[in-house]
Amino acid sequence: MTGKGHSTTTAVALICACAATVLAAPGTAFASPPEPTPPTPPATRPGEPSPPANSSLEEVRKKIDRLYREAGTATDAYNAAEEKAEKQSEEIVRLARSIDKGQAKLDKLKARAGAAARAQYRGGGMPDEARLMLSDNPSRFLDGAGRLRQGQHATKAMLTEMSRTQTDLKTYAKDAAAQWKKLEANRKAKAEAKKKVKKKIAAAERMESRLEKKERERLRKLEEEAALRQQSAWVDTGVLKNAKGEATTPGKKAIAFATAQIGKPYVWGAEGPKSFDCSGLTSQAWAAAGKGIPRTSQEQWKQLPRVDVKNMRPGDLIIYHKDASHVGLYVGDGAIVHAPRPGRSVTVAGAGSMEILGVVRPDK
């Protein structure tokens, strides 16, 4: 196999190799890692605070994790408001074009009505009906009667068209005003969500920055151990025994896109090409596969068809946490590719290393 197919196969093979470090086969003993021995705190000078003990560092890990999860929820709200604002802006542009076209049409109809009025004035101001009744030529009378009826129909149609056009313009203007109100509301919602995101991330970063280098390294290890324990427990349920489905052609394309982004940084609100947030990665992966899906993880959960976890296949999206604030792309063998959080990069992780809400299938 050569070309794209070979690249995709190689990428998936590499993913599976990476996943082996965080996965356990069903039925295999995957013991929880032993509790680490707390490091001996170095000597401190009088008045200096002692380094946190292992138990307090675990509390710090939980607090930081909670802050980043809250930031993820706020990021989803920001993305949703941004998506709505973009759609409303597009609708306002469409309505503005309709108003321009309607106004041009109305101007032409008014010009025609004005021309008809001027023609009548040049005829002495006498209505066509009166001039027709005064005619003493029978054939001219009949011919004129026919043209008069045609003229009356044309005039009536023109007046009807003018009235309809004026009504359309009022409707367009009303709709545009309503869209402006919604746009402003979503801009405010977006700004509020942005504040929350920055506040939560800043709090987490401040908490982490207070740690010494060795403590930060230990914190990272504690994160990995917690994810490994959760993944191990999930695999031990046997959930992967029946998850034997194969990726569809679009699913393979989505996987190829997602795996090609590994190593790129998480940036909230980003959807490529240099950085991604969690739903930015999954929505762009499926866009690359030719399938448009909602921008946010919450809307992906609401709108896409759901499948049972035991029936999932590579290419499906796994939605996490009760508020559907995180999402990853399932690549098979119990692994996902996802953009974890600020300070981390797109990576491979165990599909069960976080609280699973459910699975959705973009190409069902």
Distance of CA 101 to the CA centre of its chain: 32
- Mean pLDDT calculated for residue range 63-88: 86
Q: Which value, to the nearest 10 degrees, does the dihedral of the CA atoms of residues 217, 221, 227, 230 take? A: -150
Distance in angstroms (rounded) separating the CA atoms of residues 277 and 261: 11
**Sheet of 326-332: strands edge to edge?**
306-307, 356-360, 317-320, 326-332, 335-338, 347-350
Q: Compute how many other C-beta atoms are within 10 angstroms of the C-beta atom of residue 355.
A: 12
- What SS3 state is found at 326? strand
Q: What is the pLDDT of residues 130-146, one digit of tens each?
A: 454 445 555 555 555 45
pLDDT at 44 over 90: no
Active site (annotated) includes residue 321: no
The more confident residue out of 11 and 213 is 213
Cut 0.75: pTM above it: no
To 10 degrees, the CA torsion angle through 3, 7, 9, 13? 160
* Averaged pLDDT score across all residues of the chain: 79
As a whole number, mean pLDDT of residues 259-268 equals: 96
Q: CA 321 to CA 323: how far, in whole Å?
A: 5
CA–CA distance, 347 with 334 (Å, rounded to integer): 14
Nearest of 243, 352, 240, 337 to residue 285 by alpha carbon:
337
